[in-house]
Chain A
Amino acid sequence: MIHSLFLINSSGDIFLEKHWKSVVSRSVCDYFFEAQERATEAENVPPVIPTPHHYLLSVYRHKIFFVAVIQTEVPPLFVIEFLHRVVDTFQDYFGVCSEPVIKDNVVVVYEVLEEMLDNGFPLATESNILKELIKPPTILRTVVNTITGSTNVGDQLPTGQLSVVPWRRTGVKYTNNEAYFDVIEEIDAIIDKSGSTVTAEIQGVIDACVKLTGMPDLTLSFMNPRLLDDVSFHPCVRFKRWESERILSFIPPDGNFRLLSYHVSAQNLVAIPVYVKHNISFRDSSSLGRFEITVGPKQTMGKTIEGVMVTSQMPKGVLNMSLTPSQGTHTFDPVTKMLSWDVGKINPQKLPSLKGTMSLQAGASKPDENPTINLQFKIQQLAISGLKVNRLDMYGEKYKPFKGIKYMTKAGKFQVRT
């Protein structure tokens, strides 16, 4: 099981270590540093590194490497999933997960890590339970603690820990009972030169924020549940009812959680809401290249596309770019060769465009590769797959909760080849 955890920042300093079994010398991280050096970028460090006596499994998030050390045959996905859970927990506790924040809260971090694993076995990873065991730091509590001498460690066994609904604590009370659900869909797509779709898929999630008193039992039904044939549920969802009736029936955890994630890959169901017209050309012999891109909406069901951001990694041979956008702002970093254009909203009457020239290295042959354009955007009040929630009912409690559903579509890994 998981032996030790090292937190390493991008400059290669180990700034936190935690051991759940015997202490493993931090020199084991040298193997990691070697791999880090070999990989040109932090993202490319392989997630599994063998060393003579240990295995190092790592995830890279928020510019921090979380390196777990294991000694025996352990399912690597289990370790990696756990590491991601650690990061999520930190984020949940402290709002952000960064080196200074972790250092600021080192004792809480240490206590939390101790609660999460015992002898390398996961003990409590549900944030509901963790928060009962170790209270997250707030300014108020810190002040109170200093004055009264009380602690931020709970001295009662968390009630949820052993019940049949381990994800929910008992005795929850709210004055305003409310349940919000966000249906968020991300489109991953590759569009080829000619504008036709190479692949497109939707990764959808339903994130919930449920603040309900007592032990509410919710059911959520969809207008078109047939869309959901590839789903992953939060453990609270009763799988049998989904199988037989296509209804989500569950006792929700308290607070924020991800109820469900789903995947729509059938090509005909994935609408592509934007198009990019591009004309990027390099000429042999000339040290100037032409650059022109236009972004426009299609298949948006009348909704506005906002937060459009275009980025593109230009070839090494490009020295500089002189461009004029019809709207928004753009930057080109001559060192990293990264072009980014913050477009904002797309007005269908006046399509945003970015035109100009690129100056190329004199004398060098024209670049072999064409830059790929990366697109970010957001569409409010639309789930691009067409998924629609039919109704939400609550059983088991008497009060009337306030219910809300929001839809949003975002670009995930949306790439246009040129």
Chain B
Amino acid sequence: MASFTSKPPKIEIKYTQIFINNDWHKATNGKTFPVINPSTGEEICQVEEGTKNDIDKAVEAARKAFHINSPWRTLEPSARGKIMRKFADLLRRDIEYLAQLETLNNGKPVTNSKMDIMGAAACIDYYAGWADKFTGETLPTTSDMFLYTRHEPIGICGQIIPWNYPILMLATKLGPALACGNVVILKPSEETPLTALYCAALIKEAGFPPGVVNIVPGDGPNCGNAIVLHEHINKISFTGSVEVGKKVQEGAAKSNLKRVTLELGGKSPLIICEDADVNFAVYVAHEAIFHNAAQNCIAASRTFVHSKIYDEFIAKSVALAKKRIVGDPFDPATQQGPQINKSQFKRILNYIESGKKAGAKLECGGEKANDKGYFIKPTVFSNVKDDMEIAREEIFGPVMSVFKFDSYDEVIERANATNFGLVAGVLTKDLTRALKFVQELQAGSVWVNTYAAMKAQAPFGGFKQSGQGREFGKYGLEPYYEVKTVAIKLLSKM
């Protein structure tokens, strides 16, 4: 049964300042901001609030660290990989503490925090391996020329990450940036700065030279915006909403044309065909939407079910949703913690109302799960129509929307009828059907008979307005180096 402990466990908060040049700094404007525990709605602590002046400081430190003769620039590539691997080892070393801190600040169950940390360490390890392996080319040309490309680090990379996977997002951004030899200014989400700051201490312990990684907590408008507009930041990578992503791209264009990669939201379809094993489908669909309290850019928020298995699917999904244990994320029995904050909480409940008003059938859930904190019951709507708000807009909350279909050609069109295009899943045993879906679904990742199959070596990113550029895999390196072509003419006889 769900438990909602009113008192969170005692977890020591070690780092609440701004991390620049391997040092801890107070905010230049002298302000701090509160960090909330979403399980209780209560304040955990205050954290120094970074704004433009702090970003400027970080840029200065990063610049020095990127100087061509700096320790970082003169490191042997395999040595760079080694320091990264050391950071990964430290993440694993401190996994117990870090997992608790992540759960305290984000609300995800502790087991999920641990999984995230292991995944983060594996991602860093993966990219550590690339440090001495990403190559330029020598190119064929006339005999009096030597023609080749160099893949050089871009320089100062601004990285703005969201609150749904604080540690994992940090690793996903740092990995490729550091592998390519860049220097970084990372702004964690204002909701969840605590684990990023602890990781900063680990980064220092791992042996990264000062200024290579700087972490500046702060909000979007004053801190994130300062990064976006900065004349001396060479690249920005942003994960968050489409709305803010567009602003990031605009800001980059208006300032210095810094390179931009965006990983934005989704309204990802999971298509369950008539030959799918229903129990398997129910289980996959359940995890696909409800994992991480549905605070997931890849959440399968449109579940298309073939009419032949529709009723059975609904009944079983409702039963599974009702069994899902929502409660104190420190309780090992808990499967789902709170939503991140009051604003999201309200927003999700509004969508539920909207769904009801539009005529979808509320099968279960649809309300808060507790008076304290931001817990919402796993909710299932059946008979959802494509034009409803809950069918078109990203909710980022535990609301499963189930649609009926009977034509495969049509369901592909319906699945694609969105500006999003992050991921898609399809459950079927038929080979041709699966491969056709793969060909025709407009999504950066298509998963067959599985969901959320994220791997460090597989590129991930959006079609259409779900973003641009890829993270993970070898492709994940591409936004982090600049290609220089060199031509040397052999001037005279020897």
Q: A and B, one complex?
A: no
Write the residues of chain A forming the contact surface with B, with a CB cutoff of 8 angstroms: none
